[in-house]
Chains A and B, each alone.
Chain A
Amino acid sequence: DAGVTQSPTHLIKTRGQQVTLRCSPKSGHDTVSWYQQALGQGPQFIFQYYEEEERQRGNFPDRFSGHQFPNYSSELNVNALLLGDSALYLCASSPRFGFSSYEQYFGPGTRLTVT
């Protein structure tokens, strides 16, 4: 059973560019959450998707947007990249209902470097 997968592993972009990160949830999970982990910090919640809609959002600007597909996979898009967007981006999945919904399974992350 594959866990949460993310692509690409690493990415280098230039300021002002746009980037798309991808995530496939763990089998049986329908909810996907995205987190940003800056160097030396704990992960920060960006947003959460289920039923193909954004359901919750953390304190991130509109430059950060996302999408969820019918197969529950998800994309994170960041426009007009800033140097401060350099971070490890983590995707997490969980089932929507049931006791297991309180736990989120994390992928290996995508390391984004903005130059």
Chain B
Amino acid sequence: AQSVTQLDSQVPVFEEAPVELRCNYSSSVSVYLFWYVQYPNQGLQLLLKYLSGSTLVKGINGFEAEFNKSQTSFHLRKPSVHISDTAEYFCAVNRDDKIIFGKGTRLHILP
């Protein structure tokens, strides 16, 4: 069963506009959630993580995400995107010591 679902395969957004990348997780899994970014031809970089505590998590590069248990969501947001944010973004969950990834969302910044 799919543990993480990223609802959008691609998201186009104008530079300096806000963006939200959507992620839903299976309620049966443990709630250790992550967002990773992958720039072209590079490995994975951790943007932010939710392990416990405050449901609003702040990460690097101005990104933040909110853990919503009732909606089983962990959406990623940024108030103003920059051309350098062009990348693939992966939502992920730790399940039994394995990281299970969503299929990714490609963020395309329009000039």
Contact = CB atoms under 8 A, between A and B. Distances in A.
Interface residues of B, number: 22
Mostly helix, strand, loop or mixed at chain B's interface?
strand
Contacts, number: 56
Interface stretch (A13-21, A35-43, A70-78): A35-43
Nearest to A92: B99
Interface string A34-63: 010000011111001000000110100000
B51 A58 contact: no
10 contacts: A33-B98, A35-B99, A41-B103, A42-B92, A42-B103, A43-B101, A99-B51, A103-B46, A105-B46, A106-B43
Nearest to B101: A42
* B32, B43, B46, B94 interface centre (most CB from chain A within 10 Å): B43
